[in-house]
Amino acid sequence: MKQARRQVWAVLRREYVERVKTKGFIFSTIAIPVMMLGIIGLMTFMAVRAEQSNRQMALVDFTGQVGQEVARRMDEAGYDVEIVDAQVGLEELDRRVLEDEIEGYVVLDELTVQEGAFAYRSKDSPGPVRGALLESIVVETVLELRLSATESAGGVRALLGGDRLSFERLGDEAQSEVEEAAGLVSGIAGVIILYMAMLMYGAFVLRSVLDEKRNRVVEVVISAVTPGRLMLGKILGVGSMGMTQLGIWAACAALIGLLGVPMLAANLPEADLSNLAEALPGIGALALLLAYFVLGFFLYSSLFAAVGAMCGTEEEAQQTQFPVMMLLIVPFLLQMFSLEGGAFPWMDWAAVFPFFSPIMMFPRAVSGAVPWWMVGMSLVLMVIAVGATAWVAGRIYRVGILMQGKRPTVRELVRWVREA
Partner 1 sequence: MAEPAVRLAGVTKSFGAHTAVSDFDLEIPRGAILGLLGPNGSGKTTSIRMMMAILVPDRGTVELFGGFPDFARRSRVGYLPEERGVYEKMKVLEQLVFLGEIRGMERKIVRRRAMEWLERLDLGEWAAKKVQALSKGMQQKVQFIGTVLHNPELLILDEPFSGLDPINQEVLESIVLEQREQGATILFSTHLMEQAERLCERVCLISKSRKVLDGNLREIKRRERSNVVALEFEGDDRWLTRLGVTEIERVGYAHHLTLNARVDRDRILAAAVAEGVSLRRFELLEPTLREIFVRHAGADAADEPALMAAGGAR
- Smallest gap from Cβ 223 to partner 1, in A, equals 5
Residue 216 contacts partner 1 per CB under 8 A = yes
CA angle 59-65-70, nearest 5°? 45
Amino acid letter, 410: V
Helix (H, G, I), strand (E, B) or coil at 107: strand
The residue within the footprint of partner 1, chosen from 82, 92, 100, 219 (CB under 8 A), is 219
Out of 225, 299, 382, 413, which residue is the one contacting partner 1 (CB under 8 A)?
225
Q: Which stretch binds partner 1 (CB under 8 A): 1-9, 132-140, 250-258, 301-309?
A: 1-9
DSSP letters for 6-24: HHHHHHHHHHHHHHHTSHH
Element (H, E) at 397: helix 372-400
**Which listed range, 4-12, 42-50, 293-301, 385-393, lies at the site for partner 1 (CB under 8 A)?**
4-12
- Least gap, CB of 343 to partner 1 (angstroms): 46
Residue among 19 and 73 whose Cβ is closer to partner 1: 19
Residue 17 or 132: which CB sits closer to partner 1?
Answer: 17
Distances (CA, A) of 255 to 41, 96, 248, 249: 19, 50, 10, 10
From the list 222, 280, 327, 381, which residue makes contact with partner 1 (rule: CB under 8 A)? Answer: 222
**What is the pairing mode between strands 119-122 and 80-84?**
unpaired
CA dist 390 and 384 (Å) reads: 10
Q: With CB under 8 A as the contact rule, which of the stretches 10-18, 235-243, 276-284, 349-357 interacts with partner 1? A: 10-18
Long-range CB contacts (within 8 A, 24+) of 128-134: 133/77, 134/74, 134/106
In the window 226-265, what residues touch partner 1 (CB under 8 A)?
Answer: 226
**Residue 31 binds to partner 1 (criterion: CB under 8 A):** no
Q: Is 314 in the site for partner 1 (CB under 8 A)?
A: no
Give the helix ranges, DSSP H, for 65-109: 67-76, 90-98
365 binds partner 1 (CB under 8 A): no
Binding marks (x or -) toward partner 1, 387..416, rule CB under 8 A?
---------------x--------------
By CB under 8 A, residue 87 contacts partner 1: no
- Measure CA of the first residue to CA of the last residue in the chain; give whole Å: 22
Q: Do 363 and 285 touch, CB atoms closer than 8 A? A: no
Query: 60 has which bridge partners?
Result: 84, 107
CB of 229 to partner 1, least distance (A): 9
Q: How far apart are CA 254 and CA 280, in angstroms?
A: 10
Residue 46 or 220: the one with the smaller Cβ distance to partner 1 is 220
Residues, the chain: 420
Residues 124-143 that bind partner 1 (CB under 8 A): none
Part in contact with partner 1 (CB under 8 A); list of ranges 7-15, 46-54, 295-303, 329-337: 7-15
Residue nearer to partner 1 on the CB measure, 25 or 249: 25
Neighbours of 148 (CB within 10 A): 14
Q: Which residues bind partner 1 (CB under 8 A)?
A: 3, 6-7, 10-11, 14, 17-18, 22, 215-226, 402
